[in-house]
Amino acid sequence: MSGFTRDTKMYGDRLVYEVLASKWGRYHAGHCGCDQDWLTAHVIPAGFTVVPGYPGHIALVGPGLTEDVDESQLTANALWEAVTGKPGTQDWYEQVRVICRDPEHEAARKAQNAEIYQARKDRAAKSKQEPLSPAQISYLTTLAQKAGRERFDEQFAIAIKGSKVAPRKARETDAKAIARLTKTTARALITALVGHR
């Protein structure tokens, strides 16, 4: 999300406007059409400065956006005009997001992140063991028939590589081989078979 931000760790005492680059790139493409980079072609020449910050984010400061403005009446109209060449029409005021970096808040943030990432790891580990549902087996069996035996065998071997799923036996049917897959290996096999349609 784009928005006005204060984060002493990243930006010192400055109020910045953190830009979601993909969103503002779309605004520029849809309203300007000059096929140039919107930052170098419009934003910097308009007097805005890019502030180093988080990877993947663009933080801007400048006149009408974060400088010489009433912080209770913040809009992105100045940036809109610079990027699109048209006057901004934002008629609501944005709040400033303040990132608190004291030890207590940082510890809580890290604990929350650890919980989120642990949940993702747990889901990934579970999918490496979890068997397929009947609907998934049916779908993969249909894909196998469309792909043909040779392609299916080739992609099956690639999908199970590094997993605990045993290689396909010589006389094993598609359905039996598929039933032995886990959700993770099945996902890899589906992606490969659909991609080769």
- Taking only the tens place, the pLDDT of each residue in 152-185 is 999 999 999 988 889 988 888 888 899 989 888 8
Residue 34 CA to residue 168 CA, distance in Å, equals 55
Q: What's this model's pTM, rounded to 2 decimal places?
A: 0.52
**pLDDT at site 8:** 84
93 and 73 in contact (C-beta within 8 Å)?
Answer: yes
pLDDT band at 56; cut points 50, 70, 90: low
The residue that leads in pLDDT, 55 or 59, is: 59
Q: Residue 6, SS3?
A: strand
Residue 144 CA to residue 190 CA, distance in Å, equals 9
Across the beta sheet with 16-19, the strand order is: 49-51, 58-61, 16-19, 3-7, 96-99
49 and 11 in contact (C-beta within 8 Å)?
Answer: no
Extents of the domains making up the chain: 3-102, 134-195
Q: What is the CA radius of gyration of the chain?
A: 26
**pLDDT at site 98:** 87
Q: How distant is the alpha carbon of residue 112 from its chain centre?
A: 19
CA atoms lying within 13 Å on the CB side of residue 188: 17
| Mean pLDDT score, 113-137 | 81
Sort strands 58-61 and 16-19 into parallel, antiparallel or unpaired: antiparallel
* DSSP 8-class letter at 94: B
The residue that leads in pLDDT, 14 or 57, is: 14
Sort strands 49-51 and 58-61 into parallel, antiparallel or unpaired: antiparallel
Q: Which residues contact 169 (CB under 8 A, 6 or more apart)?
A: 177
Q: Is residue 106 over pLDDT 70?
A: yes
**pLDDT at site 81:** 93
| Mean pLDDT score, 134-163 | 89
Q: Is residue 196 over pLDDT 60?
A: no
b/e code 109-139 from CB counts within 10 Å (16+ = b):
eeeeeeeeeeeeeeeeeeeeeeebeeebbee
Mapped to the 3 state alphabet, what secondary structure does 113-144 carry?
HHHHHHHHHHHHHHHCCCECCHHHHHHHHHHH
